[in-house]
Amino acid sequence: MNGFGQTQMRHGFGQTTSSVGNAALVLVGTVAAFTVGGVVNAATDGYFYAREKKKGVTYKTIAKRNAALGGAIGAIAAGLLLANQN
C-alpha cells in the first residue's frame, strides 16, 4: 500500500507505476520544450535581428531537429530518473 489506500503496480526491473509515469512525463516534456523553443528562437532571431532565412532551413526542419535533440536528452533524463532507486 502506498498511503491513502493506493497500490502501486510493479513493472520490469522493480519500477513502480509512478516512476514510469514520471519518466514518460520528463521525456514528453523535454521533446515539447526543445521543439517549441527552437521554433520560437528562430522566429525571434528573424524578427529582432532581421536575419535572412537560410536556404532550405524552414521552421519545419528546425522543429524536427529540435524534437530529435529533445528526444535524445529526454531519454537520458528519463533513464536517469528510472535508475534512481529512491
Q: What is the pLDDT of residue 82?
A: 79
Quick check: 10 pLDDT over 70?
Answer: no
β-bridge mates for residue 29, sequence order: none
Quick check: 11 pLDDT over 60?
Answer: no
CA distance 55 to 76: 33
CA distance 67 to 44: 19
What amino acid occupies position 25? L
To the question of pTM greater than 0.75 for the whole model, the response is: no
CA distance 60 to 20: 31
Q: What is the pLDDT of residue 6?
A: 53
- Residue 27 and residue 72 in contact, taking contact as beta carbons nearer than 8 Å: no
* Tens digit of each residue's pLDDT (9 = 90 or more) over 15-74: 577 777 888 888 898 999 988 988 888 888 776 766 666 677 777 888 888 889 988 988
β-bridge mates for residue 16, sequence order: 10
